[in-house]
Amino acid sequence: MSYWHSKPMTFRQMPTPFTRADLAARKITTYSLQHDPRYVQIVHGVWIDRTEDVVAPTPVWAEFDWVRAATQLRGFRLRRPDVAGTLWTAARLYGLPTPNRIQDRNLHVAGDTACTRVTMREVILHRHRLLKQIDFFDLPLVTVPHLLIELGSHLSLLELVQFSDAAVSNRFGGPKTTVESLQVELTTRRQVRNRELITEAFSLTRLTVDSPRETWLRLWFIDNGFPEPVVHPRVRSRIKNVVLQPDLGYPELKLAIEYEGDHHRSSPGQFNRDIERRQLLEAEGWTVLRVTKKTNMATFGRLVTAHMSTRG
């Protein structure tokens, strides 16, 4: 199954991996391969030409790390065409929010139970009785539902919800799956590690979440005993005749909560849009509370309680 043909894409320069079998066609001598710095070995027995100028389809959001991981996976498949990208390799190629604490840059690949073991450095093989994969920009990757089940053994509840929120959102050319597909993948598997954690994470997955920090903020409300806020409640502005959608909110209380990352202050255009949106919300009788990474959440919690008691 191919995912990407209907998705926004661009073309970027990417090296084409090759093996010793390609040397004659490329007119490369063994001596040059070993001593010319233009040739770089990316996995054992596979090289790239750093000066090569070849374009290939990539997601519009792809940057250096994506190109690196994609090239490494394509190169390894010249040696082992029976595998697909999985775990952190697949997560980065899909554009899913790998936590900063994960510094693992190994190439993670998946094969079925008949797949012979891999002995190469920096390549880790994961075997599965049933391997589900798709074509993602000419890269074989395990499906997103399959991937999220595997990640359940490596992530906290918050991190897994951040992954699943991102997977069903429009971010990075998504959605890449649906909540229903996640649930089906979980219920049809007989053996699942951390099933309870994954079940809870999928039950907390919501559509249209814009960032991992918004997921964190929504779960903060739940963890601190507040009702779960609505993601992007729709508020009609009569002044401008537009629909406003704050990050989170309680429509019955006309209480909006916005998470403001650093770009909200560093971008003049974003800063001005934030001011206008707040003014338009307030004109409709809404109160807007803001959260940043430096907010004292204990004080914020008391502030939310005060607003709820006043408006409830």
How far, in Å, CA of 68 to CA of 17, rounded? 11
Kindly state the average pLDDT of the residues 222-229: 97
Average pLDDT, the chain: 92
At residue 2, φ and ψ (nearest 5 deg) are -105, 135
pLDDT band at 15 (very low <50, low <70, confident <90, very high): very high
Angle, helices 157-167/212-223, rounded to nearest 10 degrees: 130
Which of 53-57, 88-92, 186-190 is predicted least confidently? 53-57
What pLDDT, on the 0 to 100 scale, is given for residue 274? 85
How far, in Å, CA of 134 to CA of 94, rounded? 11
Domain spans, the chain: 4-11+62-203, 212-311
Does position 264 have pLDDT exceeding 90, yes or no?
no
What pLDDT, on the 0 to 100 scale, is given for residue 204? 98
Residue-wise pLDDT for 72-116, tens only, equals: 999 999 999 999 999 999 999 999 999 999 999 999 999 998 888
Does position 158 have pLDDT exceeding 90, yes or no?
yes
Architecture category of domain 212-311 in CATH: 3-Layer(aba) Sandwich (3.40)
pLDDT band at 1 (very low <50, low <70, confident <90, very high): low
Q: Do 70 and 58 form a contact (C-beta atoms < 8 A)?
A: yes
